[in-house]
Amino acid sequence: MGQDRRLRVRDAEPTASVSPTSTVAVTKSPIPAATSPGEAPPPAPAPARAPAGTTPQAPKITIKPVAASIAKPVAATGPAGSGRAVSGCGNPNGSKVLLTFDDGGPAAPAILSILDRYNIKARWFPTGQWAGSNRPFVARLLGDGQMLGNHTYSHPQMLSSLGTAELQRQVNLGYHPTNVFRFPYGASDAGSMALVTGMGYSICGWSIDTLDWSGNPAATIADIVTSQARPGSVVLMHLSFQSDVDALPGIIDNLRARALI
């Protein structure tokens, strides 16, 4: 059902690229494993304690890093995002801003703690790899009523050059308790788009890119979000960065004062 309807969510492709038509936002270079500049630092080996102890009611769940940090391409120099309304993400309230958190990383418990404190349900896109390594935490997310989505297994650029079998494998091994999918890096092409939507997924892009992976400090992240937010905006953040943790309360206070969250 709704094949054509699903295809329309193409419009929701991220604006993190240069033009609305360039769904292949990042094609320049293959993802360097963990070495490109501006990446999330590989999660520090933090054996048996929850990260940072930033939250009083921090869960006792240990967050396990996955092998390679999930690189963000340097290709897309996020334009001033539009903050426009984005469909395809299953935003339960189109008049509100939807926060989304991708990949996996040590900031996850602190982020959840903040969301809980404000009673906010966000959409989380852990990779299948990370979700598999952090099952207790993911179970806690579900129990908490957080929304999840499929972000592939190991976060490749989902381009047709990967081959149909590998594209399907990435989707099938992704964490997918819902039918919402987000392309890693926002990178897709006609073939991969058709494949994923043909598997029944709606595509969730974003319209506010915090560029947290680039090293933006919390104040910059907060400014990006609050200056662009409007009803239906979808904010892209990640689970790796303390800067997002630091920025979140101020962002939420701001949006809440404007009835946007």
Question: Using CA atoms, how far apart are residues 48 and 150, in angstroms rounded to an integer?
Answer: 28
User: Which candidate, 210, 214, 208, 257, places its Cα nearest to that of 234?
Assistant: 208
Q: Which is nearer to Zn ion, 153 or 260 (CB)?
A: 153
Environment class of 203 (CB within 10 Å of its CB; exposed 0-12, middle 13-18, buried 19+): buried
Name which position in 13, 39, 102, 209 contacts Zn ion (CB under 5 A): 102
C-beta nearest to Zn ion: residue: 102
Dihedrals φ, ψ of 150, to 5°?
Answer: -90, 130
Give the integer Cα–Cα distance in Å for 32 and 16.
19
Compare residues 99 and 260 and give the one whose CB is closer to Zn ion.
99
Q: Mark residues 168-187: x for contact with Zn ion by CB under 5 A, - for none.
A: ----------------x---
Query: CB of 70: closest distance to Zn ion in angstroms?
Result: 6
Interface with Zn ion (CB under 5 A), residue total 3
Q: Which stretch binds Zn ion (CB under 5 A): 19-27, 48-56, 100-108, 214-222?
A: 100-108
Instruction: Please give the positions annotated as active site.
Output: 102, 238
Q: Which residue in 70, 28, 25 sits closest to 205, CA to CA?
A: 25
Tokens of 261: 């969250």
Instruction: Give the whole-angstrom CA distance, residue 193 versus residue 195.
Output: 5
Give min distance, CB of 163 to Zn ion, in A: 21
Write down the residue that tokens 């907060």 correspond to.
222
Mark the segment that binds Zn ion (CB under 5 A) among 33-41, 97-105, 112-120, 204-212.
97-105
- Nearest approach, Cβ of residue 212 and Zn ion (Å): 11
Residues forming contacts to Zn ion in the complex (CB under 5 A) are 102-103, 184
